[in-house]
Amino acid sequence: MTLKNKKVLVTGAGGFIGSHLTEKLVNLGAKVTCFLHYRSDSSLENIDSFDNNIKNKLEIICGDLNDSDAVRKAAKGQEYIFHLGALIAVHYSYVHPRSYVQTNVLGTLNIIIAALENKVKKIIHTSTSEVYGTPNKVPIDENFPLQGQSPYSATKIAADKMVESFWHSYNLPMTIIRPFNTYGPRQSARAIIPTIITQAITNESIKIGNLNPKRDFVYVDDVVEGFILAAQNKNALGQTIQLSTNKEISIGELAKKINNYVGNECKIISENKRLRPLTSEVMRLKGDNSKAYNILKWKPKTNIDEGIKKTVSWISENIEKYKVDNYNI
């Protein structure tokens, strides 16, 4: 099955992963509608950086996931929905958890109701590896228990289960894609790799939180490929499929790797204000991607060194987009 000439809605299309997915869909010949959070300055987020030959092929709808009428309007006539719109910063979820419930849970409910009403062929819902919390062993597969160790992860668990319930209750055609820590060009500094890179380029020190947690980092192009394969594959219906590399690296080791690559010999500092609450910190995330390979024939193509090289290059050329000295939760 191909997505060429298919009507596709992407929520969160202006975000990090969403913008890369949107470009890929246009290049595949899909008819893409982007659902973006309304901004009074008319910003389209990362879509503003697209070449005109891509941007001019997009239909843009600005609204709010919490507005069921806006969501219903955006979903009308769509054949596929890629739902990436969400509040995603873990630290901000400690400050305003209610907004995460409203956007991530109720916003997802609005999307899947609209998908059901419009009889979409498939909805691809975006999960996160944070739903596992700190596991008792690794690698993690899709059958591991889910733990809400932050308000963010709790709302993503609820959203995942809401989508799953619509599959069982209403035969909503869906697949849940659960990426591990995605990174690459355009990612904001609220994520760890851009945080390290921007400081390594411009400062004498790199200030981060806990150096000990280990993560499984997946390059954004590989994640986008997983989304596309999930939409095209009928065997993915009703499934939760995670995208991971089966490898892990500690945050401290990652900082040293990036530091060495940039070549500025920055001092690496663990800063208290960047730490998560003690029992909220997820200490290890290393995924098992065998299900993704067995169903989708997906496996990552970009290793961590190659991916960091590409990301450093992009951030170096776009450093003005980052407020390096301001820590923003």
Active-site residue identified among 152, 183, 219, 322: 152
Q: Is 152 a catalytic residue?
A: yes
Q: Is the peptide bond before 277 cis (omega within 30 degrees of 0)?
A: no
Beta carbons within 8 Å of 145's beta carbon, 6+ residues apart: 132
**CB-CB contact of 213 with 277 (8 Å):** no
Q: Which element (helix H / strand E) includes 220?
A: helix 220-232
145 secondary structure, DSSP code? P
Q: Cα separations (Å) of 259 from 118, 160, 200, 215?
A: 50, 36, 6, 18
In angstroms, rounded to a whole number, what is the distance separating the alpha carbons of residues 250 and 217? 10
270 secondary structure, DSSP code? E
Looking only at the bridges linking them, the beta strands covering 214-215 and 249-250 are antiparallel
Quick check: helix, strand or coil at residue 114?
Answer: helix
Quick check: helix, strand or coil at residue 39?
Answer: coil
In angstroms, rounded to a whole number, what is the distance separating the alpha carbons of residues 42 and 62? 9
Instruction: Compute the Cα dihedral for 128, 130, 133, 136 and give only its sign.
Output: positive
In angstroms, rounded to a whole number, what is the distance separating the alpha carbons of residues 31 and 45? 20
Phi, psi of 58 (to 5 degrees): -95, 145
The encoded tokens of residue 190 equal 């609220």
Return the active site residues: 152
